[in-house]
Every structure is written in C-alpha cells, then in structure tokens.
Structure 1
Amino acid sequence: MKLRSVLVLALVFITALAFSLNVIFLVGDGMSFNQLLLASILEGRVLTTMTLPYTGITTTYSADSWVTDSAPAGTALFSGYKTLNRAIGVPPDGTLVPSMYELAKKSGYNIGIAVTCRVTHATPAAVYGHVASRDDEVTLAKQLAESGVVDVIFGGGWDMFVPTAQGGRRTDGLNLIEMMTKNGYEYITTPEQLNKVSSSKVLGLFTKGHLDPVSSRPANQPTLDAMTKKAIELLSKDGKPFMLMVEGSQIDWESHANDFYGVWKEVVEFDNAVKVALEFAAKDGNTLVVVLGDHETGGLSLSKGGYTINVEQARKAKGTTQMFLAQYNISEKDKFMAGLKEWYGISVTDAEYENLKKIPASDLRRQLARFVGEKLGFGWTTFDHTAAPVPVYAFGPGAHYFTGFMDNTDVPKILMTLTRISSITFPVIKETGSGY
C-alpha cells in the first residue's frame, strides 16, 4: 500500500513537471519605448520584439525613489517585492526574499542566465542573490557558486570568482571556478566551446569583466543570441521545465552615454535574442516569452525639435563615440573635425569645437555623443535613469495576462501563478499601478 502511494505521488509529480510552463524572460536593461523605436527607425523595419501579440506598460519605481536602479528593479521583476536602491533580494526590513527562479529550482525547474555583463551584476544577481549593496559582487559570486540555483550561466566576470593572486578580485583566497567544476559544472571561456558544450550544468565566463559592447565586440566573445540559443538547448534537453533570464545589459550603458549608435546596435542584438526565444516558443507550444525593460535610461527623445530626425544620415554612422575617440584626438583640430564629418556626416563650427575641447577628458565621450546625437535630431534629458514607464511584451501560454497598466512587481506574481511555483494569489492590477 505504501509503495502504491509512493508511485502515485511520483506519477503526479512527473506529470506536473511534464506540463509545467517554460519561461524565457528577456530584460532590456535601460530600455523603454524610445530605445526600441530608435532601433526600429534606424533598421528600417519592425523589430521582432514589437511583433509579440500582447503588450502592457509597467511602472518601475523602487521602495525609496521614483527613479530606480537595476538592483531593486531586478528584485521587483524576479521576486515581486519593492526594495531600496542598490539592494538585491533584500527588502527594506532586511529579510531575505526568494526570487521566482529560486522557487522554481525547488519545484524541479532547470534555471539559466545569459547576459552581456558580469554574471554578478545587478540584474543577473537578482536571479539568485541577496545583498544589501549591489557592489558586493564577490559575495554574489559566492552565493551563485554555493547555491546551485542556476544550472546554465553565460556572461562575463571571471574576476569575481578567483583570488587576487590569479588576477581576480577575491581576497578570501577562494577559487569559485574550481569549486563549481568539482560540483559538476563544465567551465567554458570561448565561443567555440559554447558551440560544442552539451552539459546540463555549465559555467561560461567569456571575459574577465563585462563583455565588450556589441559595436566593437571581438570574435572571441559570443553574441547574446548565440548564448540564448545554447542556453535554451541545454535547459530543455532533459524534458524538465525551465526558466531562462536573458539580459541585454548594455542598452543601459549606451543610454547612460547618450550614444544613439550604441543604443541602436545593443537593442538589435537584444532583439536577435528575442527572435531566438520566439522561434523556440513557437515550436514548443509550452513556453511563455516575456520581454520588457527594467527601467528607462537617458530620457531619450526622438526629436530635438524642428519636427525632424536626420534618419538617413544617422544610418550611415560608423560607430559609437567611444570608438571614434579611440581613433581621433580632440587636440588635433582638423583631423577631429574631418573625422566627425566622415563618421557622422556632421559639420562642426569653430565655436562648437572650442566648446568640445573644454570638456574634461573623463566626460568627453558622453558629451560628444550627446552633441552628435542632437546634430542628427536625437535628444536626451539625463545621463542617468528616469522614472519613465517601460513596455512589457508577451507570447505563449498566459501571454494575455500581460496587458494594461501594471507595476513591475505584478510581472513575477503573474509568472509565479501561471507556473504554480508559489501560492501567491493572482494579482489585481489597478489602473494606476500597485503601490501608489
């Protein structure tokens, strides 16, 4: 009788897993409507992200500010709790709250992350981490290594995993890469290894720090869509349900720099990853794809006035201003001005050149980027984040719930309800957003 009961319970568990919903959650860091539309305009096509059938709008504020940073934004999106700026997985009262990924792992899910930043950076860390300050990345690396929550890990930042004597940042002497390989992870560091890997547990750290911007990324670093495709392959191969978090990490950084070219190319790379996710979901039939921004960065406007943007000229741009400044020295006036004409098609007056020359070297990149963008018709209000709402797009089973106006904490509550990994009651989405 006892054996029969055990067999019945096992069958129920296996059946529940078999029909559990896969979730691919793609986050464009710093991405809102205008970053997407900028890339769409310059590409001359509708982005894949824009074709998802259901669309909503979310507020992004943190527990202590209308303007969030990525740490509380990630906590809100993955756990359903507001917290203080800079905190990850720790609400203001100091308790630790599990992310939906941690809950899903306990329910039998495979878990993965694929990002273009360090895997200990704010957004990916919100999948598995709990710290009062996002700057404590050496602690986050230890939490990632010891928790075993994430099965497939793709991104950068091996420096957080090894001691200072080995070129890393750890002062505790721990080599977390060795620890993880002993615990069954296969460690890879190149795109070639990424293509070939077939293990169910993989630690892929392709750079010492963040991956290079996609505009200038060398061939020895993978693209986000390649990492996404491999992550889906590995997570889905054993038939268990899975959750994958993909981040277009550097949309945010190019928006911080007010660099229209950088934003354009980072959004396109992110959109390529969305395409990979959608192709799998369409074939699988049991996968929900959710795409959204965690907050807006830069206060991007798609006009500087005059009812126009010089789109054709912007499309001919040769690179970011970081790339430009690597080739041109502002002290060489004639070459510098000729370079701006060649790279961006803009003419610079003597007075404008003198104003640019007065900018401190540490601030030249972003001030030049804003100057170039404004010449072409793109405006920016800040070099920081804003409180602007962000879009959420969805495809697959349950996608229709991601419509209307909601708060970022509503997103994981819906996901946890759909996947049945939590007893959270389905949220009531107020017209003004929860938390007001």
Structure 2
Amino acid sequence: MTRPHIRLGVNVLASGRHDAAWKTFDDKRHLSTDIDHFVQIATSAERGLFDAIFFADGPGGLVSEAHSRPWRALDPMVLVANLAAHTEHVGLVCTTTTLFGHPHTIARQIASVDHASGGRAAWNIITSQTAPALGAFGLSQGWDQQDRYLRAEEFVRIVTGFWDSLPDEAVVADTERSLYLDPARLRPLAFEGQHFSARGALSVPETPQGRPVIFQAGQSADSRAFGARYADALFTGQRVIEGAQAFYSEVKALALGYGRDPDHLLVMPGLFPILGATEEEARRRKRALDDGLDAAALRDELSHHLAVDPDRLADLDAPLPWAEIEANEDSVPIASRWHRNEMLKEARLNGWNIRDLMFSNITGGHRVYVGTPESFALDMVDWVDRRGADGFNLNIDVQPEGLDLIADQVIPVLQRLGRYRRGYEGRTLRDNLGLPRFVAGDAADLRAAV
C-alpha cells in the first residue's frame, strides 16, 4: 500500500513561535506590520512546498501578549489577500471568529480571496471569547458552552450556504436573451436561527474549489464533534503519541458518523521544531533562545497552569511537585485543563523536572522537538504511520530563518523517504491536500443540513 504523503502547514507569527525570537532581529519595532517580512515567510513556505500558511488571530483589541513580544497586528484577511499576489501555490488560511459580526461578511471575504488566489483560500474557525474580544465588541459577558457552539454552528451554516448560493451554471452570459445571470439557477439562502438569520444569494460566484477549505482548532468534546462535522482539517495540540492516536481515531469515527469519508478530514497537530546539524547544536540553539526569556514570568505562567504557589517552583532543578499538582486539579479552570494535561503527560513520559517543563513551550502549548533535520523528519513519519496525524502545523522558532532550514534540510529527507511531494499536485489548496473539489449536494454537504 502506498504510504501517505505528510501534510504540512506553517503557523505564521511575525518573529517566530519562540517568545524570545524577536530579540534576534535588527529591526525589532516593526515586525508586526512589515509586509515584506511576511512575504519572505510566505515565499519560503512555498519553496518548501508547504500545503498552507496559517494565520491565527483573535477578535478584539490589543492583548497582553503585546507587552512581551510582537503581536498579531494586521487583519489576517488583508494579509492573505496581499500574499496571494506574491505566491502561486501555497494555501492561505485566514482565522476569523464565529461569535462576533455577521456571517455574510466572512462568506464574501473568504470567497473573494479564493477567487483572487486561484483557489487557495481556507477559513480557520474559532469560537474563543476572550476579555479583549468582549470588551472591543462592547459586551459585558459571553455565551455559555452550549450557546457558543450553537452560535458557531449557525454562523458556519450561513457562510457555507452563501458559498453555494451562486453556482457556476447560474452565470449564463446569454447575449441573445440579454441575460447575464439566470435567477432560476440560484440557490438562495433562507436561514432563521436563534442567533443569526440570512436570506438571499452571495454576490461572489462559486469559487475555484467549489468551497474554500475549512480548518478548525479545538480540543473539547463539543469542538471535536463540531470539527468532525464541518471542517476539512483539524488543528490540535497533542504532545504525546498515545493521546494523538486517541484523538485521531475519535474524530475520524465522528466524521464517518456524519456520513463523511474519514480520509477527507485531515488531522494536523501543532509541532515546534528547533533544529541543528547535530543534537548538541540543536540544544545550543534552544538554550540560546531560552536565555532570552523572562524566567520569572515563565515560572508564574507555569504556576498558573499547575495551580501551585510560584514559590514551590523556585528551584528549577527540583522534581515537579506531583502531589500538589494532582491535589489541585479541580481548581484549574475548565478552559485550561486540556493544555495542562497535555503538558503533564509529556513531563511524566520524559521524567522532566521544573526547568524542563518551564521551557517546553508552555505559552504556545505545542510539542517541541529538538534534534537534527533527519531525526525530525523520521519523528513526523512515525506519528503519521502510527495514525496519530495526517500531517502537522509547524511552529517555527525564528521566521523565516527556521523555515528556510525546514525547506532546505527537512523536506529533502521526507522526499527521499517517498513521504513528501516534489512538486505541487494541482492549482488549488484542495488539490494539494488530497481533498476533492466540493460539490454542493454531495454527501459531505448533507452534514450541514443534519
């Protein structure tokens, strides 16, 4: 049986995933708004034949992250539209909320980017409702879990309904009858929900992919069910292979339950490589970056995740206080428990002390791999072959330097193993992800009407 090619995306941050990456740049003040810098990252990803570049985002105003590192300043919709003009093949994943604003706006914007890019647009759905978001939109409180996902479901059904509302065949351009668009061939939307309503047809015709690709990130049971129903690819945080295998198996089964082909739901955990020509060089690279971090702030962050007093973490070379960590589990907010549990699984597996866990990407959450390009390639292959992933969304330590290293040294290893493309398979993101062109009314479409 042919072994599957590994799918790769890259999470684009202005300086890189490592919180001290910005300190390595000459011009430190303008990283968040330097469009030429983002073009460099995008073209580097395309040179590495990546499936997609991924722009995370959160709705609302300035976040506390900006106090200690470059933040996500530019609207991701504007960014991907600009980068479409500087690239030819790599997918463009834009994150927007399903809680604030109206679905029609997002439907039109993403469909427009899909046309402008020749079929490379994707929408990453988020359902977060942070304090900056609520404040920016003038709300004193958000929605409970049930209402949040009901709101998100209605949002997605309207967006996808609008994407299907003006099919190619409706544009007849009949000069004899002076009929450009045949209204009888439209599929107008008529949706009345508890949170959103919408009627009519989108002004943007059916896109080159049939529909743009849908990504979704999340870990909760509600999120897994939502993603298995509506998404084409799932981003997830998995730090231990056994947990990744369980997640993979569950969401594939959920997709099958919605009448979908499980192979058309891709699972792409986040993964943060720090690489060097030798293992020791990779460790030196990580230490050099870690030395730029605020250790006191990281210790406070870790104490928050573990629900223990920061003073209990003062000796960084001491073992983790497992008895207290386990005793305080119920005091951890529900929203933080997945992240906490994943970190602790990895710490137990590797026998980590306080220092090890503190410098293991607790702010970003995703698994860190420190090693050589070849060993990193083999690690990714192992996870895919053990059905823990279909690919990965890579977090790069310093961008684009770390991304160039992946393109030049990791990708050739995967190609020699027969596990990575040597050229893009097609023109659209769906082509390159191995997903069929979306056809309204097929089995995958019916899940939206369940």
TM-score, with structure 1 as normaliser: 0.34
Q: Which has the higher contact order (CA 8 A, sep 6+)?
A: 1
**TM-score, length basis structure 2:** 0.33
